[in-house]
Structure 1
Amino acid sequence: MSKMTGGQALAKQLALEGLKDIFLVPGVQLDWAVDGIREMGDAFRLLIPRHEQTTSYMADGYARASGRIGVCMTVPGPGLTNAMAGLSTAYACSSPLLSITGQIHSTTIGAGYGMLHEIKGQSELIGSVTKWHGMATTPSQVPALVREAVSKILSGRPQPVGIEIPHDVLSTAAEVELVEPPQNTDGRLAPDASQIEAAAAVLAAAKFPVIHAGGGVLAADASAALEDLASRLQAPVIMAETSRGAISDQHPMAVTSVAGRAVIRHADVVLVVGSRFMNRMAPAPQWTSPDTQFIYLNVEAEAAAPPRKPGLLIQADARLGLEALTRALPASGISRAHMVEAARQWAAQQIREVEPQYSYVQALRRAIPDNGFLINELTQVGYLSTVAYPVHQPRTLITPGYQGTLGFGFPTALGVAAAMPDRAVVCITGDGGFGWGMQELATARRYGLNMVVIVFNDGHFGNVRLLQQQTFGHTVGVELCNPDFPKLADAFGIPSATVSSAAEMETALRGALSRGGPSLLEVRVGPMPSAWHLIGYNSIFKRPSPEPADPIANLLKN
Structure 2
Amino acid sequence: MADDQARAIETKPNRMTGGDALVAGLHRWGVDTLFGVPGVQLDEFFDGLQRNGDGIRVLHSRHEQGAAYMALGYAMVTGKPGVCAVVPGPGLLNAGAALSTAYATNARVLVLTSTVNSAMIDRRQGALHEINDQDGLLRSLTKWSARATHASQIPGLLDEAFRQLLTGRPRPVALEVPPDILAQTGFFAYPQAKPALTNPAADPAAIERAAELIAGAKNPMIIVGGGAQEAGAEVRELAALIQAPIVSRHMGRGVVRSDDEYSLPAAAAIPHWPDVDVVIGIGSRMTQLREWGSDARLKVVHIDLDQSEITRIAPPAVGIVADAAPATRLLVDAIAALNPSPAPRTAEFAAIRAAFREEVAAEIQPQVGILDVIRAAMDDDDVFVDEMTQVGYTSRYALPILAPRTYVNSSYQGTLGYGFATALGAQVGAGKRRVISVNGDGGFMYTMPELATAVLHNIPLIAIVFNDGNFGNVRRIQANKYGGRLIASNLHNPDFVALATAFGVKGILAEGAEGLARALEEAKQADGPVLIEVPMNLEKTPSPWKHVHGRKVR
Q: Give the TM-score normalised by structure 1.
A: 0.93
Report the number of matched residues: 534
CA distance in 1, matches of 2:478, 2:286: 28
Query: Shift of the alpha carbon at 1:421?
Result: 2.2
Following the alignment from structure 2 to structure 1, what is the Cα–Cα distance between the partners of residues 293 and 167? 29
Q: For 1:484 and 1:530, locate their aligned partners in 2 and report how far apart those are by CA, in whole Å.
A: 26
User: 1:128 & 1:41 partners in 2: Cα distance?
Assistant: 31
Residue identity opposite 1:407 in structure 2: G
Q: Is residue 308 from structure 1 mapped to residue 314 from structure 2 by the alignment?
A: yes
Contact 1:373 1:424 in 2 (8 A): yes
Q: Select the residue among 242, 249, 261 that pairs with 2:258.
A: 249
AA aligned opposite 1:260:
A
Superposition pairs of residues 109-120 of structure 1, within 5 angstroms: 109-120=121-132
Please name the residue that 1:63 is paired with.
75
In structure 2, the CA distance between the partners of 1:304 and 1:286, relative to structure 1 (3 Å rule), is farther
1:449 alignment partner AA: I
Q: 1:132-147 maps to which residues of 2 (within 5 A)?
A: 132-147=144-159
Who is 2:38 aligned against?
26
How far residue 332 of structure 1 moved from its aligned partner, in angstroms, is: 4.6
Distance in 1 of aligned mates of 2:294 and 2:548? 17
Paired residues of 1:296 and 1:303 also in contact (CA < 8 A) = no
Which stretch shifts more, 423-432 or 171-180?
Answer: 171-180
Equivalence for 1:372? 382
For 1:494-509, what aligned pairs fall within 5 Å after superposition? Answer: 494-509=505-520
Work out whether residues 438 and 464 of structure 2, in 8 Å CA contact, stay in contact via their aligned partners in 1. Answer: yes
Which residue identity does 2:40 align to in structure 1? V
Shift of 1:349: 2.7
Q: Say whether 1:128 aligns with 2:140.
A: yes
Stretches of 4+ moved more than 4 A in 1? none
For 1:309 and 1:16, the matched residues in 2 are separated by 41
Per-residue CA distance 1:320-349 (angstroms, 9 max, x = gap)? 211110111126533110111121123113
Contact 2:437–2:462 (CA under 8 A) maintained in structure 1: yes
Residue 206 of structure 2 is aligned to residue 214 of structure 1: no
Greater mean alpha carbon deviation, residues 333-342 or residues 439-448? 333-342
Q: CA deviation at 1:259?
A: 1.4
Aligned amino acid, residue 522 of structure 2: G
- Pairing 1:125-274 to 2, within 5 Å after superposition: 125-182=137-194, 185-218=196-229, 221-274=230-283
In structure 2, distance between residues paired with 1:312 and 1:422:
43
Partners of 1:203 and 1:209 within 8 A in 2 = yes
Q: Is the 8 A contact 1:136 1:142 kept in 2?
A: yes
CA-to-aligned-CA distance 1:329-388 (integer Å, 9 cap, x gap): 126533110111121123113211111111111111111111111100110011011000
Q: CA deviation at 1:309?
A: 5.5
Shift of 1:181: 4.5
Q: Shift in Å at residue 310 of structure 1?
A: 4.0
Alpha-carbon distance in 2 for matches of 1:459, 1:354: 20
Say which of 419, 435, 438 aligns to 1:428. Answer: 438
1:529 matched to 2:542? The reply is yes
Gaps spanning 5+ residues in structure 2: where?
A: 1-12
Q: Distance in 1 between matches of 2:34 and 2:315?
A: 43
Please name the residue that 1:392 is paired with: 402
Which residue does 2:20 correspond to in 1? 8
Cα distance per residue 1:48-100 (max 9 Å; x no partner): 01110011110010011111110011000001000011111111001011111
The structural deviation recorded for 1:469 is 1.2
2:270 and 2:292 in contact (8 A); partners too: no
Q: SS state of the match for residue 392, structure 1?
A: coil
Q: Distance in 1 between matches of 2:107 and 2:180?
A: 30
**Can you list the C-alpha shifts for 1:408-460, whole angstroms capped at 9, x where unaligned?**
11000000111122001100000000010111110111111121100000011
Determine which of 36, 44, 47 is the counterpart of 2:48.
36
Aligned to 2:486: 475
Q: Percent identity?
A: 38
- Is the 8 Å Cα contact of residues 467 and 534 (structure 2) preserved in structure 1? yes
CA distance in 2, matches of 1:264, 1:321: 24
The equivalent of 1:446 in structure 2 is 456
Encode CA deviations 1:172-200: one digit per residue, 9 max, x unaligned.
Answer: 11121223353x85423221111111101
* Residue of structure 2 in register with 1:553 after alignment: none
Contact 1:136/1:164 (8 A) holds in 2:
yes
Structure 2 Cα separation of the partners of residues 397 and 300 of structure 1: 23
AA aligned opposite 2:416: L
Say whether 1:337 aligns with 2:350.
no
Separation in 1, partners of 2:142, 2:249: 23
User: Contact 1:50 / 1:439 at 8 angstroms: preserved in 2?
Assistant: yes
Computed over aligned residues only, the root mean square deviation of the Cα atoms, in angstroms, reads: 1.6
Query: What amino acid maps onto 2:472 in structure 1?
Result: G
Q: Would the alpha carbon gap of residues 273 and 494 (structure 1) be closer, same or farther in structure 2, given more than 3 Å must change?
A: same
Distance 1:309 1:529, change over 3 A: farther
Q: Would the aligned equivalents of 1:421 and 1:450 in 2 still touch at CA under 8 Å?
A: no
Task: Look up the match of 2:294.
Answer: 288
> For the Cα contact (< 8 Å) 2:23–2:53, is it kept in 1?
no
Among candidates 70, 82, 102, match of residue 114 of structure 2: 102
Distance 1:104 1:193, change over 3 A: same
Tell me the equivalent position of 1:89.
101
Shift of 1:536: 2.2
